[in-house]
Chain A
Amino acid sequence: MMHSLKQIFPRNDLVAFAVLAAILAIVFPLTMDIFRLNLVGKYLTYAFVALGLVLCWGYGGILSLGQGIFFGLGGYCMAMFLKLEASSPENTAIQSTPGIPDFMDWNQITELPWFWEPFHSLPFTILAVMVVPTVFAFFIGVAMFKRRVGGVYFAIITQAIAAILTILIIGQQGFTGGVNGITDLRTFLGWDIRTDSAKYLLYFVNLVLLFICLVIAQFVRKNKLGRILVAMRVREERVRFSGYDVSNFKIFVFCLGALFSALGGAMFTLQVGFMSPTFVGIVPSIEMVILCAVGGRLSIFGAIYGALLVNFAKTTFSETFPELWLFAMGALFISVVLFFPNGLASLYQEYFLPWVKTKFNLTNKASKAINAELESKVKPQVEPQVEPKEQQDNSAKLPAGARYES
């Protein structure tokens, strides 16, 4: 067990977990006022989606352009619960039919629709947040992957589904709040979510959930499942001919991504206080993909940093130069794809990490031993032709020139 845990959480990744936790749980809360921290919380809800996309797209090679669907479904489930709580008969006494959400009243609906009824219950809501999007993803996944729809076609169809859902939400104004979405959410089981203390607490709840998702993602990535996903992305036919049912793996990872997105959506609703179709459609779904691409499609940590950075940039840009933001975003799309397809994480891996290692002589134990061995040799004798295995493996990590010194 210990051994397998060590395999799943190698030292590098533990350090990455620790650094991320320190930044999010200590540095940000200490240095930011609650307004900014709430914004970070909002960005982090997108990080859930980006994390799911790393697994689906980076590892599994399935690009879904419809993650907004799941983000939205999760968010709407939560919003329905909060809305029902906010529209108690006392609060809505001025309406012609008290006790139903205000937008229904405006649309001459006099009775709560049947699918709203169960959202009076919190356990049902929590279950719905997780189950509804996952089941939806499962159906899409089965329908597509069992028939070997993949790649570009999958991307276009998920995009179409996102479009359908948006049109449906906007069109059925009486049941969904239409373009405005579900707004004016106040309390969660009687606890006011708009106060500063609630926002602090929600930020940390969000963080805990995010880390749970990160650990799950790490498990997926480091287990056999992750290796099969990569193999599938690279040579799907070979994996299939080796006896694996490729579609089941794809369905699983797609459902997992949907679940993550839905959690993000639900936390978004709680922290921001509303949910609307602008987070469901095609444009937000593609923007979610760029968060993942900027961070690095193969790095679960990259996804989080990508979500934070892009959203920070978006807020700053659109505050100061609103018309420049689309240019910057467009340029970001193009340059990420052209110049660093594996995102910031690859820049970090390729340039920053080696630089740090040479700068601070931070090499791991094995290469330290080799260093010591190399240094202990007085003269560079003609080395025996058999290079020790470790030395070859670690030679890349040695400081530049160390191999030829002494």
Chain B
Amino acid sequence: MFAEYSASELTAIFAMQGFAGLILFSVLVLMALGLAIIFGQMGVINMAHGEFMILGAYITYLTSNVFAEYLPSLFVGYFFVAMVLAFGVTFLLGMAVEWGLIRFLYKRPLDTLLATWGLSLILQQLYRTIFGAREVGVSLPDWMMGSYALTDIIEVPINGIFVMILTLVIALSVYWLMYRSGWGRQVRAVVQNRPMASAVGINTEKVDRVTFGLGCGIAGIAGSAFTMVGSTGPTSGQLYIVDTFLVVVFGGAQSLLGTIASAFSISQAQSTMEFFLSGSMAKVLTLLFVVGILMLRPQGLFAMKIRH
């Protein structure tokens, strides 16, 4: 199947598909980071994660409309405001959900799945009522559009580069927060031994609430970033939730590095195969591959060796 392309074309194909894969990778990482915190660290299955993401996307959409209407001179930078807003709102909503729902279910992880699925249905219908059933897209400021020509045949879109940089920044901050800050140490202490953490004076309830909120907040930022590469509809979140869970599980639930590695392999496999097969078959093969490896290695790629 490679015969009909010349060598330089093949290089270009792989480079461009690789780059498309990198954008997919960035979006997957952003989505999966929040989930890795909630599922990996807290053991809660949040099926409404996709809807939190969509909330971030809708907030970005609203912000862009507000800027276009009232502050056209500042439209260039609306995206940064939108991201902060998306993070703030989803963070608060996440804390509220933890307080109203999740905290009663810590001992029953499978039930968190059902309850958050219910929440996701409610949120979906809410979006449909408020924003309508049609997909919405945001208009990007000029500097984000267009692409940067690397060689004559290889071009990379600028918004893609922006998403990648954003992912890098967020991933580094999450890493710093979880592994280098005092608060991260508290989270990990609570995860490893709740009664002991509580005995040394950590307010475990507060840690739980903020951790959950943080996971949701990152989902909000992911949604915000997502508006640059795709359009947003009430049910878009559901399309990604399985992929996101697979990324987290495939990487080893408690390892942030694993999450990034698995997002990378999944997205590269997907986008490279997409060029040669139909999109759906590429997806089927990628998912089958992941499920197959998970059957051989249920603990994921980068499992932490701890005793439970």
Contacts and interface: CB of A to CB of B under 8 A. Distances in A.
A334 B118 contact: yes
B284 A341 contact: no
Interface stretch (A98-106, A218-226, A322-330): A322-330
Given A167-B284, A168-B284, A333-B114, A149 B295 contact: yes
A338 B249 contact: no
Interface stretch (A3-11, A28-36, A263-271, A283-291): A283-291
A344 B206 CA distance: 34
Contact of B291 (A157, A171, A289, A338): A157
A334 B294 CA distance: 30
Nearest to A339: B104
Interface in B261-283: 278, 280-281, 283
Contacts of A152: 39, 43, 45, 109-110, 113
Contacts of A149: 294-295, 298
Contacts of A334: 101, 115, 118-119
Nearest to A63: B110
B188 interface: no
Contact of B115 (A65, A157, A327, A337): A337
Interface stretch (B15-23, B56-64, B124-132, B160-168): B124-132
Contacts of A118: none
Interface string B112-123: 011101111110
Contact of A160 (B129, B278, B287): B287
Interface stretch (B84-92, B142-150, B238-246): B238-246
B122 to A, nearest CB: 4
A164 B288 contact: yes
Interface string A155-182: 1110111011001101100000000000
Given A151-B109, A171-B281, A157 B114 contact: no
Contacts of A326: 121-122, 124-125, 128
B117 A286 contact: yes
Contacts of A167: 280, 283-284, 287
B242 A148 contact: no
Contacts of A143: 295
Contact of A156 (B118, B128, B246, B278): B246
17 contacts: A144-B298, A147-B295, A149-B294, A152-B45, A153-B298, A155-B45, A160-B245, A164-B284, A167-B280, A167-B283, A289-B114, A326-B128, A327-B121, A330-B121, A330-B125, A338-B105, A341-B111
Interface of B: 39, 43, 45, 101, 104-105, 108-111, 113-115, 117-122, 124-125, 128-129, 238, 242, 245-246, 249, 278, 280-281, 283-284, 287-288, 290-291, 294-296, 298
